[in-house]
Amino acid sequence: MSTESRIAVVTGAGSGIGRGVALALAEAGWSVALAGRRREPLEETAAARDDVLVVPTDVTSPEAVQALFEAVRDRWGRVDLLFNNAGTFAGGGTPVEDLPYETWRSVVDINLTGAFLCAQAAFRAMKEQSPQGGRIINNGSISAHVPRPHSIAYTATKHAMTGLTKSLSLDGRPYRIACGQIDIGNAATEMTERMQTGIPQANGQLAVEPVMDAADVAATVVHMAALPLEANVQFATVMATTMPYIGRG
């Protein structure tokens, strides 16, 4: 991709994978818009970075998402990359029969509807701009392939993310819009701290699971983002080598 047009939007940029990817993109020379629910964590991500834009955003709100992409285009004139990362594991560990409707709805709204709204806004911008095109990278999960126990809401939305990725990839072809997905397993972030104390397995036992450095995830996203639009990593799985994924269940 030309170094003259490297404008990225990262959602969920206030912590974890989102923060790591945003910083890695900035280090690689991208101008980065940081989106997330709370301003303070976004400001922490942006500290000591010059070419960044902090835009507190509720990804479940069409108006907020529209405002995010308008702010990016007002600042830099275009959008070259969306890392669609915002998500929640709310309700994880709750048996399906006990999961409140409100929790299900919240997970769907954030993980799926939020991803759609951001992808839609990025797609519109990439289609309209000149030169035309760009790239969307969706954060799927190992759970886009196989579930953990008591994770029905999260798992359902991550399976749906794969369908979102495939449809965007197909519909983007006429406009030089590439879309791929990164499925991440056990990166060391706040969300995976419980891996170190034991997490339920499919056989009903608790087991400590290995984790990997989240920087390796960020490096993979930067690689995917740097490809020319004529090339695309459609799906990438990046995981702790010995985590219980292959053969899970």
- Give the pairing of strands 52-56 and 81-84: unpaired
CA dist 174 and 221 (Å) reads 24
DSSP 11-67: ESTTSHHHHHHHHHHHHTT-EEEEEES-HHHHHHHHTT-SSEEEEE--TT-HHHHHH
| Active-site residue flag, 101 | no
- Contacts with 10 (C-beta within 8 Å, 6 or more apart), sequence order: 18, 21, 22, 25, 32, 33, 34, 35, 83, 85
Which of the residues 101, 154, 175, 245 is marked catalytic? 154
Residue from 137, 145, 120 nearest 17 by CA: 137
Strand partners, 54: 34
Sign of CA dihedral 173, 86, 112, 193: positive
17 close to 139: Cβ distance less than 8 angstroms: yes
Active site residues: 154
